[in-house]
Amino acid sequence: MTSPNENFYQAIGATLDETSLIASFDKSIDIETATTADTICPLSHQAVLEILGPDSKSFLQGQLTCNLNELNQTQSALGAACTHKGRMYTSFRLVEQSANRILMGMSADVLAKTQATLAKYAVFSKAELTDLSEEYHLFGVAGPNAEQHLQSLGYEIPSDINQVSQNDEVTIVKINNNHCYEVWLPTTCALATWRKLCDLFQPSSNILWQLVDIRDGRGTITAPTVEVFIPQMLNYHLTNAVSFNKGCYTGQEIVARMQYRGKLKRHMYRGKIKSKTMVTAGDNLFSESSEQSAGTVVSAVKTGSNEWEMLFVATDGLAASNQLQLSNAVTANGEPDTLEQLALPYVIDSVTDSTETD
């Protein structure tokens, strides 16, 4: 049986790679052009988990790193869920659509694990978890005229980063100050809305949105990095994705101890590298002076011929050294390339000569 999602991608003329969850179009523009044009992309690499019931907020408050008291119908929240050892098994954006209904958008390849793990605790609360992968769609729209285009369709748009506007069935979230918005909506109106938006925006692969996240310094947990990082390694403490005054949640003791008593050796950075082979999340980084792992790729996007841009977690001091390499990253000449650090939109207070708490 053909799923609603398959029908949708066929209807919009997109080809969906079921392994990578990349949606592409025959007439898609190149990635760098897309970053400055008015574009729309289906966020096929993301999926939505619904948490429904009168205890939804209180239940999530005891499981997630973010403060649910700051979540409302006009303000979304970024955060993570951790194991008892403080290792993240998922990361997400929360959108509250009603007093008893919260939507959690995350990487599609970790939704099943997230649902199964949270369900173990949900049995003690009046909250039900439902996979909306077939019932909900997310789009990314961006460009210098994004605000004008959305308003021309009658949509109210949020003014500040992470703010939300509810437009009947269409929810719009402001992602950054570079004219980027996410559109959340049910499958029942997704095709009609897509067609209206395509009169104003040019379709593009969702690789564009992965690059938006990289350039915003927004590290996402995907299947290869489940239980690899603690929140501070992905700079969540710098982006309001971790609350240190909300009270207890699973993994809170480790996360808080790292913040107040431990000193973290590794943080997330942005960089680029040349490689004719694939660069993917979970790849290990090494320094020229040692074969021991010095870091891990969080996410990576091919931005040109043999060129990759990425977020990576690395030992402080090595990140800016231009000595980090990927074991499988080689240039067209067959030579290994080193990772060049790029700027992030926020400042990392790196700590050297430190002891790391697990």
* pLDDT, mean of each 10-residue run, the chain (358 residues): 77 92 83 87 97 97 97 98 97 95 98 97 94 96 97 97 96 97 97 97 95 97 98 96 95 91 85 90 84 88 92 88 75 73 87 38
% of residues, the chain, pLDDT over 70: 92
CA distance 317 to 289: 14
CA dist 274 → 33, 318, 328, 342 (Å): 20, 18, 11, 14
Domains of the chain as residue ranges with CATH: 4-215 (3.30.1360.120), 265-346 (2.40.30.160)
User: In this predicted model, what pLDDT tens digit does every residue of 196-231 receive, in sequence order?
Assistant: 999 999 999 999 999 999 999 999 999 999 999 999
Q: Give the pLDDT confidence score for residue 124 in this predicted structure.
A: 86
Task: Strand 336-338: give its sheet, edge to edge.
Answer: 336-338, 324-330, 284-287, 290-304, 307-315, 266-274, 340-342
CB-count burial class (<10 Å; 0-12, 13-18, 19+) for 177: exposed
